[in-house]
């Protein structure tokens, strides 16, 4: 049986990215990407971009309102909170590219050259 878990999204960053440092010392930036669904609705999707994989230098200039292309895989995490057991489905990015740029900035910003 062949299994494929590949996600490619083009959308708009809906909120300011949040960078967190994990107890292990690893850093992750959490993004919320709005992707158009059929019709006129926008589907907000959580994206986790680990700095060791994607690169901090690529993530720092990304801000709310930027158009981005994200590729990665879909992951479901389980955890406990004060309300009990919970789960979260998110995209774990392996590469991000900021689409369109302001004049004079030298073009698109590439996050992962292997992408």
Full-model pTM: 0.79
Q: Per-residue pLDDT averaged across 59-88, rounded?
A: 92
Do the bridges between strand 42-50 and strand 7-13 make them parallel or antiparallel, or are there none, so unpaired? unpaired
Question: Per-residue pLDDT tens for 95-104?
Answer: 999 997 554 3
Task: Dihedral sign for Cα 1, 7, 72, 107, please.
Answer: positive
pLDDT score at 12: 95
Q: Per-residue pLDDT averaged across 40-64, rounded?
A: 92
12 closest CA partner among 102, 108, 99? 99
pLDDT band at 37 (very low <50, low <70, confident <90, very high): confident
pLDDT band at 18 (very low <50, low <70, confident <90, very high): very high
Q: Per-residue pLDDT averaged across 53-79, rounded?
A: 93
pLDDT score at 27: 94
Q: Is the pLDDT of residue 73 over 50?
A: yes
Mean pLDDT taken over the chain: 86
């Amino acid at each position: 049986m062949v299994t494929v878990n590949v996600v490619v999204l083009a959308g708009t960053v809906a909120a300011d990215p949040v960078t967190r440092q994990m107890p292990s010392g690893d850093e992750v930036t959490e993004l919320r990407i709005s992707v158009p669904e059929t019709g006129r609705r926008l589907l907000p999707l959580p994206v986790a971009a680990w700095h060791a994989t994607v690169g901090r230098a690529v993530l720092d200039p990304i801000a709310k309102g930027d158009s981005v292309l994200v590729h990665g895989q879909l992951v479901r995490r389980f955890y406990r909170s004060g309300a009990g057991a919970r789960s979260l489905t998110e995209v774990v990015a392996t590469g991000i590219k900021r689409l369109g740029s302001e004049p004079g900035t030298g073009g698109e910003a590439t996050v992962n050259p292997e992408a």
